[in-house]
Copies of this chain bind each other. A is one copy, B any other.
Amino acid sequence: MNSIPTKPKAVVLLSGGIDSATCLAVAADGGFECHAVSFDYGQRHRVELIAAGRVARQLKAVTHRTILVDLRCAGGSALTADIAVPKDRAADQPGGSSIPITYVPARNLIFLSLAIGVAEVLDARDLFIGINAVDYSGYPDCRQPFIDAFAHAANLATRAGVESTDGGGNFRIHTPLVALSKADILRLGARHGVDFSLTLSCYDPQSMGSDAAGLACGHCDSCVIRRKGFAEAGLADPTRYVMP
């Protein structure tokens, strides 16, 4: 008599953009039962949550939670405060010394912490986050050394870590895109069946007519990187822009 094999659960951070959609597809094709988590954090591009819901459905996430966390009271970012989103900057700006104004203080630290809480309740031990070198764009919380340090802290912070049988905690944080260019990510996502027309990358989208999930501005850092990625990957760009 065979027992039905159960898939291990994974919590996947899902913003509704290209990277997190690809990350979800990779996790699902890797044999995980995927639980998507999005964040309603006061972002000006809040319509990305609609895109996240479309992506979660297309890629058959088993559950999709949106966690409310108000990062506006900290302020300090063009993505949450009343500061203009920069437009038409070069796509290949260096990271490190130049952290852009769209940086949200401690965002991935906060999002991963909330995802760990969800993972603990679901009894999941695997998390997926779609950070990568290009999307880094100077964001310090998109680098592997941070992820490794965070996983260590999370294993010391939680019941799952304390009670793990191997004594060293057992959350695993997967970063399948960390070493990929945007073009590589697009090719990988396409191979795993991501419908990129459902995704939204823009930091400053406009909701117009029937497209409740927003049209992309085409000029913010995120749009510039996305356009360049489709061109380099040799894929048709299905993005709907306000001004083509």
Chain copies in the assembly?
A: 2
Any B CB within 8 A of the CB of A90: no
| Interface membership of chain A positions 143-170, coded 1 if the CB is closer than 8 angstroms to chain B and 0 otherwise | 1011001101110111101110000000
Any B CB within 8 A of the CB of A116: yes
Asked whether A157 lies within 8 Å of B69 as measured between CB atoms, the reply is no
Question: Within the assembled complex, what's the spacing in Å between the Cα atoms of A163 and B98?
Answer: 10
Any B CB within 8 A of the CB of A108: yes
Asked whether A74 lies within 8 Å of B121 as measured between CB atoms, the reply is yes
Main secondary structure of the interface of A (DSSP, over half): helix
Of A99-107, A177-185, A188-196, A202-210, the segment with at least 4 beta carbons within 8 Å of chain B is A99-107
Any B CB within 8 A of the CB of A176: no
Any B CB within 8 A of the CB of A213: no
Question: Within the assembled complex, what's the spacing in Å between the Cα atoms of A29 and B111?
Answer: 34
User: How many of chain A's residues have a CB under 8 angstroms from any CB in B?
Assistant: 47
**A106-B154 CB under 8 A given contacts A67-B70, A69-B70, A162-B96:** yes
Any B CB within 8 A of the CB of A243: no
Question: Within the assembled complex, what's the spacing in Å between the Cα atoms of A104 and B116?
Answer: 11
Asked whether B140 lies within 8 Å of A108 as measured between CB atoms, the reply is no
Any B CB within 8 A of the CB of A7: no
**A118-B153 CB under 8 A given contacts A68-B69, A106-B113:** no
Question: Residues of A at under 8 Å CB distance from B?
Answer: 65-71, 73-76, 96-97, 99, 103-110, 112-114, 116-118, 120-121, 140-141, 143, 145-146, 149-150, 152-154, 156-159, 161-163
